[in-house]
């Protein structure tokens, strides 16, 4: 007789390689203004361009769970910074400065985001709290990445 | 007749999506006690509820390689904190406080965990080292996530 | 005669699980020398042995996008550290020390790496900036992991 029909196609493997979003940016100059998003314009990594240095905001394209972290050089005054999600403060970092004692402040957070959600850093308070510093050999940075994309069962079987 | 030819190999999949564990929590008040787990009870993210604020401990459900990070506000005394894994100190962070000079201390670590392993933060030493602070606009946070799940060949083929 | 039985089911597609690279290491002693890679020789995690404590360098085997983070104890002098990628400084962290005020400094970055690329930390400047400290209950750590492996379309369909 004839050979049997071909076997079923194997199951889909395990990957997620198409779901990527990551950025890592730094300040080029001390923060110039308070109560507006901090605009990081030195790019260590921003392949998907989900961080926009014109606005200072990360904008979520792929819904899912994200990790964010920042590391700030505190000089020459106190630094009080908040991480914002859509105009709402989510987390605060405060470090006081003293003469001849430049410091480092940092924070990390994991957040579930929907497409269109925006996340950014902003000095919280008036100019006296604007001591987020950077120059050629002092960095203040902001990084984030998609940790787990939201995948519906429908997507998974597609 | 002869059996048919084998089926085509399956498409590359998107997976590991079922292997998820992540939490991001903060303090609501200054650390009240030393030499016991720090209980973070503000939840930024804890979908799988693998972090338990009743005990202050993250409990591993999915074995694998995990990333943990914490960022502490140091005020109004020194802060000395250890990351514990199952009653064993694994890593230490110490930051001294000086008047009018609130600081930020932080740490990160990657650990392989088995199901049931517990990870937490704890002030290491007496009350003089308990300066881990938080209030409405000052955060101290603890976050972690599953980076690479342990998958046995058996699991993979299942 | 009758047709043969159907062929075997195809193999499962590829998994992301084979693409793994992560390390988490700490200092055992204060940094002994400046302007050379800092050699972290306490291993919290280094399964793939992509971090080499003989050189102090992480060496990329799997091309892709990596996350790196470090947390340094600053004592008893200033600490100025740079993250290097292949003999080029990429990012700087500077924290000043003052008497009785041990500090913590930290940094994070996301970088795309090719196979063979090396990443490490190094005191930037002379001995006066070498205040990166560690002992039995004070850690200074360096961690990193592969976030998104580079997979070519060819690989994906293989
Ligand atoms: Ca300092
Ligand atoms: Ca300070
Ligand atoms: Ca301090």
pLDDT in tens, B97-143: 999 999 999 999 999 999 999 999 999 999 999 999 999 999 999 99
Contact C13 B10 (CB under 8 A): yes
Q: Is A102 on the interface with C (CB under 8 A)?
A: yes
Cα–Cα dist B2/A5, whole Å: 10
Q: What is the pLDDT of residue B11?
A: 52
Extract the tokens encoding C9.
Answer: 């089911």
The residue of chain B nearest to residue C148, with distances taken between CA atoms, is B147
Q: What is the pLDDT of residue B6?
A: 74
Can you give the pTM of this predicted structure? 0.90
Q: How far is the CA of A6 from the centre of ligand 2 (A)?
A: 69
pLDDT in tens, A45-80: 999 999 999 999 999 999 999 999 999 999 999 999
Which chains have 3+ CB pairs within 8 A of B? A, C
Least confident of A144-153, B1-10, B16-25, C95-104: B1-10
Predicted confidence band at B36 (pLDDT cuts at 50, 70, 90)?
A: very high
Nearest alpha carbon to residue A95 among A106, A87, A86: A106
Averaged pLDDT score across all residues of chain B:
91
pLDDT in tens, B86-96: 999 999 999 99
Eight-state DSSP code of residue B138: B
Q: What is the pLDDT of residue A32?
A: 94
Nearest alpha carbon to residue B73 among B130, B128, B21: B130
DSSP per position, chain C: ----PPPPPPPP--BGGG---EEEEE-SS----SSSB----EEEE-TT--EETTTTEEE-SS-EEEEEEEEEEEEEEEEEEEEEETTEEEEEEEE--BTTB-EEEEEEEEEEE-TT-EEEEEE-SSGGGEEEE-BTTB--EEEEEEEEE---HHHHH-
Predicted confidence band at C14 (pLDDT cuts at 50, 70, 90)?
A: low
Residue A76, preceding peptide bond in cis (omega within 30° of 0): yes
In chain C, which residues have their Cβ closer than 8 Å to the Cβ of A4? 3-7
b/e map A114-123, b = 16+ CB within 10 Å: eeebbbbbbb
Strand residues in chain B grouped as ranges (E): 22-26, 42-45, 51-52, 57-59, 64-85, 88-95, 103-113, 118-123, 130-133, 141-149
Q: How far is the CA of A92 from the centre of ligand 2 (A)?
A: 15
Predicted confidence band at B158 (pLDDT cuts at 50, 70, 90)?
A: very low
CB atoms within 10 A of CB C151: 18
Residue B153 has pLDDT above 50, yes or no: no
Q: What is the pLDDT of residue B10?
A: 56
DSSP per position, A51-115: EETTTTEEE-SS-EEEEEEEEEEEEEEEEEEEEEETTEEEEEEEE--BTTB-EEEEEEEEEEE-T
Strands C51-52 and A141-149: unpaired
Cα–Cα dist B96/A151, whole Å: 45
Least confident of B146-155, C53-62, C122-131: B146-155
Cα–Cα dist C62/C66, whole Å: 10
pLDDT in tens, C41-73: 999 999 999 999 999 999 999 999 999 999 999
| Chain C residues 112-131 with CB within 8 Å of chain B | none
Least confident of A140-144, B94-98, C151-155: C151-155
% residues pLDDT > 90 (chain A): 84
Q: What is the pLDDT of residue A140?
A: 98
Averaged pLDDT score across all residues of chain C:
92
Q: What is the pLDDT of residue B16?
A: 52
Residue C7 has pLDDT above 50, yes or no: yes
Are B143 and B40 a contacting pair, CB within 8 Å?
no
Residue C11 has pLDDT above 80, yes or no: no
Residue A153 has pLDDT above 70, yes or no: no
Residue A93 has pLDDT above 50, yes or no: yes
Q: Residue B64: CB partners within 8 Å, gap ≥ 6?
A: B19, B112, B113, B146, B147, B148, B149, B150
Eight-state DSSP code of residue B55: T
Q: How far is the CA of A9 from the centre of ligand 2 (A)?
A: 61
Q: What is the pLDDT of residue C16?
A: 55
Burial class of residue C61 in the structure, from the number of CB atoms within 10 Å of its CB (0-12 exposed, 13-18 middle, 19+ buried)? middle
Nearest alpha carbon to residue C80 among A139, B93, A6, B114: A139
Q: What is the pLDDT of residue C12?
A: 57
Residue C96 has pLDDT above 70, yes or no: yes
Q: Residue C32: CB partners within 8 Å, gap ≥ 6?
A: none
Which chains have 3+ CB pairs within 8 A of C? A, B
Cα–Cα dist A93/A49, whole Å: 26
Residue C156 has pLDDT above 50, yes or no: no
Task: Give rounded-to-5 percent helix, strand, coil for chain B.
Answer: 5, 50, 45
- Residue B116, sorted as left (phi over 0), alpha (psi -120 to 50) or beta, turns out to be left
In chain A, which residues have their Cβ closer than 8 Å to the Cβ of C80? 137
Nearest alpha carbon to residue B31 among B108, B109, B91, B105: B105
Strand partners, C111: C66
Higher-pLDDT residue of C43 and A156 is C43
In chain C, which residues have their Cβ closer than 8 Å to the Cβ of B3? 4-8
Segment C16-32 mean pLDDT: 91
Predicted confidence band at B4 (pLDDT cuts at 50, 70, 90)?
A: confident
% residues pLDDT > 90 (chain C): 84
Extract the tokens encoding C100.
Answer: 């009785």
Residue B157 has pLDDT above 70, yes or no: no
């Amino acid at each position: 007789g004839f050979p049997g029909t071909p076997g079923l196609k194997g199951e889909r493997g395990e990957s997620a390689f198409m779901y990527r979003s990551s950025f890592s940016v730094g300040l080029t100059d001390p923060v110039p203004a308070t109560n507006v998003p901090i605009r990081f314009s030195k790019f260590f990594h921003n392949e998907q361009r989900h961080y926009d240095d014109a606005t200072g905001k990360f904008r979520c394209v792929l819904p899912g769970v994200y990790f964010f972290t920042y590391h700030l050089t505190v000089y020459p005054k106190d630094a009080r910074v908040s991480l914002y999600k859509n105009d709402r403060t989510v987390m605060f970092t405060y470090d006081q400065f003293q003469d001849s004692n430049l410091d480092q402040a940092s924070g990390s957070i994991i957040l579930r985001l929907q497409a269109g959600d925006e996340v950014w850093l902003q000095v919280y308070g008036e100019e006296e709290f604007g001591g987020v510093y950077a120059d050629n050999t002092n960095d203040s940075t902001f990084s984030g990445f998609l940790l787990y994309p939201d995948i519906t069962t429908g997507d998974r079987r597609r």
